[in-house]
Structure formats: structure tokens, C-alpha cells
């Protein structure tokens, strides 16, 4: 018995030893992996702990000297002037520095012969302000052979202050930034959610005005009608997301004078706080330029902005033909035949026991129908068709309403694939809608289902 206990104790000790060995091995492996991760890194820092950046790029004809600070979670350029920074570009710069690995150390003391490595007049000088202190990186000249570059780093978290490192030229290429690279490219800084109204003014064209009421935009000029909200936001997003290809922070007199002449368009925006943004667009030296006036920079934008400025009131118009809700329809009269709803199913007056599913399909088609074109009832194109007898008439009785909706449908003259539609809802006064016949396909299926069966008979 004593021998068994002794053996059990020995086995338990062995297991504990093995467990401890496994734990130590795991700890050592993680330690080795962490060391490998940081091995040969020029710098060791956490990008989200960086509070400011001093950036100097001394290459090119116009040296760059920029100061960047993090304020309320956003990068702001504070020198040479106060500008919103391109958040992604600044973050990418920090990621490049954090991930950069050198290949070898070629000198332990750069101060002895800095000109040999281009560090007496470095191409790039970057200082990172962190809670542990300032980290300074110098990017020197390319090596005589190969695709490498000399660099030096000083401050907390660097590999040996004063050492000259050699590594991939990626360090030089990826830090060769200009002010344009690091500034926010958007020249319109408001959000479409904050737009209360806007006007689009073009030479020799009616001014288009839209206003928001209770969170919904409507066209107010040159006519008044509901707007398609997706079209409005798509237009605003398209302008707001437009990036400047060039900034002219100090435009010369010729460029300033270009905005005193005939412009190709003007956008006037009123925001929810009653502030306004007015942007003029001109064509100058065959390029489109925009200016919001005052101290705002003049910017050059791509030519596709011209297409955005060509929008008409019709482009913003809500093309939904009806505003009723299909589930609220209690009775349908189609081409003289009456249908009523019972327990969610539709039945014809002449066949009260036979459910007609096509009526539900017709109501869905009508409820969600969108016009391909909206015409005035007095237009010749409308009258050519609507002065004839309609090919379909529909009357809808809505629950809780004493006034039915009357709908007339014609074949569109000159188009075998389109209908013209008029109806009695208030929003449709003097309006004719053009719609593809495929969008009202339930009309044909309803007509076929309503057709009496043909008795072929037998002789």
C-alpha cells in the first residue's frame, strides 16, 4: 500500500513538473514571438498614443513644413495654416513608421560623419509627440548600391539612439508627403444631414430650389412638388464627396477675376443653424474651379462636376405615382368589373366564391409604380393619347375615405411599351405619368383571369 502511495506521489510530481514545463514553454514561445515581432523595428510606439506630428519634407522645389495635432479625436493641420487633415493619410504615415524594419546598422554614431549618410541635410525630419516623449526620425540619402536608404531615430522606443540604420527605400517613398497629401481634399465640409435648403443656379436655366420640412425635401421652384429623397441625398453626397485635385490657398488676381465673370453654376446652401455656404463654379484655363468666397481656397475639381450641376427640377421629382397603401383598399372596380376583399382575399362580384390573386398583384403594381417621365396634361405629347378613350379604368375605394381614387390608363402614342396614367389624387392635378407596361403587368393577367372560358362544344 505504501509502495502504491509512493508511486502515485512520484507520478503526481512528474505531472506537475511537465505542466510547469509546458507553461514555461508557452510563456517562452510568446516572449520569443513578441521579440520577433519587434525585432529590427526602427521605432516602437502606439499610433493612437501620438498627440502631434512635426513633419518636414525637404525634397522638391517647395519644401514642406507641417505641424499636425490631434484634437477631439481628429487630426488638424496647424501649420502653415489651420486645416482639417486627411485622417487616413496621417494614420497611414504613422502605420508606415510603426511597421518599418531596418536591415542592418552601418554606424553606431551618426554624429561622426553625418554627410556620408545624407543625415546632415536629411530628406525627411519627422517628430512624433507621445506621452513618453518625442520620437525623432531622420531619413537620409539612398545607399550607393541596392534599393536601400539610411535613417536615424532618437527618443523613447527607438533601436539605439545615434545609430545609422539601412533598410528599404519604402521609408523614403512612403513619407514623401506634400501638404496636399496630408490635408483633407473635400472642399465642402458640411454634412447633407445638416442641409435645410439649397438652390442650384445655372446661366439661361430656371433656378432649382429645394427645402426641407419635417425631415423631407420638396421642390419649391420653378414649380412645387414632392422630391425623391434618394435623388436629393445622392446629389448632395456627390457634391460633398467631391475632392479637390488642387488647392489655391492664395489665388492670383487672374484666377480671382475669373469668378467675377460668367460662371457655369452656383450652389447656395442653407444649413440647419441658418448659416450658409455659397459656391461658384467657373471654367478657367479649360479646368473647372470652385470657390466658396471669403478666405476659402479656390479649388480645382474634376470635369464630372459639370454633370452634377446640370440637374433640373424634374431630376429631383418624386416619380412615385400613387400615395395610397394597398392594404387599405376595400374595393376595386377594374374596367367595369367590381372586386371586394374578404378575409384578406379578393373576389369578383360575379364569382363570389373564387379568390382572384391578380387583384392583389395589381394593387402592388399600382402602389409602387414609378414614372419614367412626368408630363403636363396640356402638353401635346399627353393630349395625343389622353383625348382618346382609355384602355383601362380603375376605381379604388380606400378604407376610411369617402372619395375613391379614379385612375385612367392609355397606350402611349408612339410607344408600344408604355402607358400614360392619370389619377384623381390631389398631388396629381394636371399631371400625366408615363410608365413602362411591364411595371403594370398585373393588368394583363387580371384581364386574362377575368375572361370567360370558351366553350368549344362538340358536334
Q: Where are the domains of the chain?
A: 47-182, 192-316, 326-450
Q: pLDDT digit string (tens) for 387-431?
A: 999 999 999 999 999 899 999 999 999 999 999 999 998 877 788
Give the fold, CATH level 3, of 192-316: Immunoglobulin-like (2.60.40)
Cis peptide before 269 (omega within 30 of 0): no
Whether residue 365 is preceded by a cis peptide bond, meaning omega within 30 degrees of 0, is no
pLDDT digits (tens, 9 = 90+) for 299-321: 999 999 999 999 999 999 999 99
Class of residue 303 by CB neighbours under 10 A (exposed 0-12, middle 13-18, buried 19+) = exposed
Q: What percent of the chain has pLDDT over 70?
A: 89
In sequence order, the 6+-apart residues with CB closer than 8 A to the CB of 263 are 203, 280, 281, 282
Q: What is the DSSP letter of 51?
A: -
Q: How much is the pLDDT for 161?
A: 78
Q: Whole-prediction pTM value?
A: 0.73
**pLDDT reported for residue 459:** 43
**Burial profile 13-34: b = 16 or more Cβ within 10 angstroms, e = fewer:** eeeeeeeeeeeeeeeeeeeeee
List pLDDT tens digits, range 341-379: 999 899 999 888 899 899 999 999 999 999 999 988 888
Q: Check the CA dihedral 344-350-352-353 and report its sign.
A: negative
Q: What pLDDT does residue 158 have?
A: 85
Pick from 93, 161, 172: which is nearest to 139 by CA?
172
The per-residue pLDDT for 455 is 46
Q: Would you mind telling me the total number of residues written for the chain in this entry?
A: 459
Percent of the chain scoring above 90 in pLDDT? 74
- Dihedral pair phi/psi, residue 56, rounded to 5°: -130, 125
Measured CA to CA, the distance from residue 167 to residue 150 in angstroms comes to 7
Q: What is the mean pLDDT of the chain?
A: 89
Query: Residue 189 class from Cβ within 10 Å (0-12 exposed, 13-18 middle, 19+ buried)?
Result: exposed
CA 335, chain centre distance (Å): 47
CA dist 340 and 330 (Å) reads: 6
User: Counting Cβ atoms within 10 Å, is residue 165 exposed (0-12), middle (13-18) or buried (19+)?
Assistant: buried
- Mean pLDDT in order along the chain per 10 residues (459 residues): 64 66 58 58 93 93 92 95 95 96 93 94 96 95 94 87 93 95 94 96 95 96 93 95 94 93 94 96 96 92 93 93 93 95 92 90 95 89 91 95 94 93 86 94 69 45
DSSP 8-state secondary structure symbol assigned to residue 236: H
- Bridge partners of 329, per DSSP, are 398
Structural contact between residues 419 and 434, judged by C-beta atoms closer than 8 angstroms: yes
CA dihedral in degrees (82, 85, 90, 92; nearest 10)? -170
**Side-chain-facing half-sphere of 71: CA atoms under 13 Å:** 10
Amino acid at each position: 500500500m505504501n509502495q502504491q502511495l509512493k508511486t502515485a506521489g512520484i507520478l503526481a510530481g512528474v505531472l506537475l513538473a511537465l505542466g510547469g514545463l509546458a507553461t514555461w514553454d508557452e510563456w517562452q514561445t510568446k516572449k520569443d514571438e513578441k521579440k520577433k515581432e519587434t525585432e529590427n523595428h526602427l521605432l516602437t510606439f502606439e499610433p493612437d498614443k501620438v498627440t502631434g506630428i512635426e513633419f518636414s519634407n525637404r525634397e522638391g522645389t517647395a519644401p514642406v513644413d507641417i505641424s499636425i495635432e490631434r484634437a477631439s479625436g481628429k487630426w488638424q493641420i496647424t501649420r502653415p495654416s489651420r486645416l482639417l487633415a486627411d485622417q487616413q493619410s496621417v494614420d497611414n504615415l504613422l502605420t508606415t513608421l510603426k511597421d518599418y524594419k531596418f536591415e542592418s546598422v552601418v554606424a553606431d554614431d551618426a554624429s561622426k560623419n553625418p554627410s556620408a549618410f545624407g543625415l546632415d541635410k536629411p530628406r525627411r525630419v519627422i517628430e512624433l509627440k507621445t506621452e513618453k516623449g518625442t520620437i525623432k526620425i531622420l531619413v537620409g540619402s539612398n545607399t550607393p548600391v541596392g534599393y536601400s536608404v539610411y535613417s536615424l531615430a532618437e527618443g523613447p522606443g527607438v533601436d539605439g539612439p545615434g545609430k545609422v540604420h539601412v533598410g528599404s527605400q519604402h521609408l523614403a517613398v512612403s513619407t514623401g508627403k506634400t501638404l496636399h497629401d496630408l490635408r483633407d481634399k473635400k472642399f465642402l465640409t458640411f454634412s447633407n444631414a445638416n442641409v435645410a435648403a439649397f438652390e442650384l443656379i445655372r446661366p439661361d436655366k430656371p433656378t432649382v430650389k429645394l427645402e426641407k420640412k419635417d425631415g423631407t425635401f420638396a421642390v419649391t421652384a420653378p414649380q412645387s412638388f414632392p422630391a425623391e429623397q434618394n435623388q436629393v441625398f445622392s446629389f448632395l453626397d456627390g457634391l460633398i464627396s467631391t475632392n479637390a485635385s488642387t488647392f489655391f490657398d492664395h489665388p492670383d488676381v487672374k484666377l480671382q477675376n475669373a469668378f467675377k465673370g460668367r460662371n457655369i453654376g452656383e450652389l447656395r446652401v442653407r444649413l440647419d443653424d441658418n448659416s450658409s455656404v455659397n459656391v461658384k463654379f467657373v471654367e478657367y484655363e479649360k479646368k473647372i474651379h470652385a470657390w466658396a468666397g471669403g478666405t476659402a481656397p479656390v479649388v480645382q475639381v474634376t470635369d464630372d462636376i459639370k454633370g452634377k450641376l446640370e440637374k433640373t427640377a424634374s431630376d429631383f421629382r418624386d416619380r412615385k405615382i400613387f400615395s395610397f397603401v394597398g392594404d387599405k383598399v376595400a374595393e376595386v372596380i377594374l374596367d367595369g368589373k367590381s372586386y371586394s376583399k374578404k378575409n384578406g382575399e379578393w373576389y369578383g362580384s360575379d364569382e363570389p366564391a373564387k379568390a382572384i390573386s391578380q387583384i392583389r398583384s395589381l394593387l402592388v403594381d399600382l402602389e409602387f409604380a414609378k414614372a419614367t417621365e412626368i408630363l403636363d396634361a396640356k402638353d401635346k405629347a399627353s393630349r395625343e393619347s389622353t383625348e382618346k378613350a382609355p384602355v383601362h379604368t380603375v376605381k379604388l375605394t380606400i378604407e376610411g375615405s369617402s372619395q375613391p381614387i379614379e385612375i385612367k390608363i392609355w397606350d402611349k402614342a408612339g410607344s408600344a411599351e408604355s402607358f400614360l396614367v392619370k389619377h384623381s389624387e390631389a398631388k396629381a392635378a394636371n399631371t400625366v405619368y408615363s410608365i413602362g407596361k411591364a411595371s403594370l403587368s398585373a393588368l394583363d393577367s387580371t384581364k386574362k383571369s377575368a375572361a370567360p372560358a370558351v366553350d368549344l362544344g362538340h358536334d
